[in-house]
Amino acid sequence: MLKRWEFWTLTVLALATAVLVVANMHQFSANRELQAEVNQRGLYIQQSIPLENLSREIALALAQLSVRTQDEQVRALLTSLGITINVTPTPAAPAAAAPEPRGGEK
């Protein structure tokens, strides 16, 4: 037979254990939700990487079109998206040099 203080000590320990089990279940559930959120973000990042190259190509094509057609609306659109267009003039082709005369020809 248990003494009175032993009974109450075991009862309090059992109650504390039950509280800790419930707290552990709650933490486990919260941890699973956070893991699912992190996995979703990782998947989003993985899926958006190929789109970055496509986005860069579209911006480059629009910039080239803007320069070629001198379209200020397209340039303004790109500027509003934070894309700056720098036009570097292409150097003119050098004039063909006259062939030098051969040996005895003058």
pLDDT in tens, 43-92: 999 999 889 889 889 988 999 988 889 888 988 888 898 888 877 766 66
Angle, CA of 97, 98 and 102, to the nearest 5°:
130
One-letter amino acid of 28: F
Q: Is the pLDDT of residue 103 over 60?
A: no
Please tell me the total count of domains within the chain. 1
Residue 75 token pair: 């340039």
Q: How much is the pLDDT for 84?
A: 85
* pLDDT band of 101, cuts 50, 70, 90: low
Is residue 98 included in any domain, yes or no? no
Is residue 70 included in any domain, yes or no? yes
Q: Is the pLDDT of residue 94 over 70?
A: no
Q: How much is the pLDDT for 72?
A: 87
Q: Containing domain of residue 48, as a range? A: 4-80
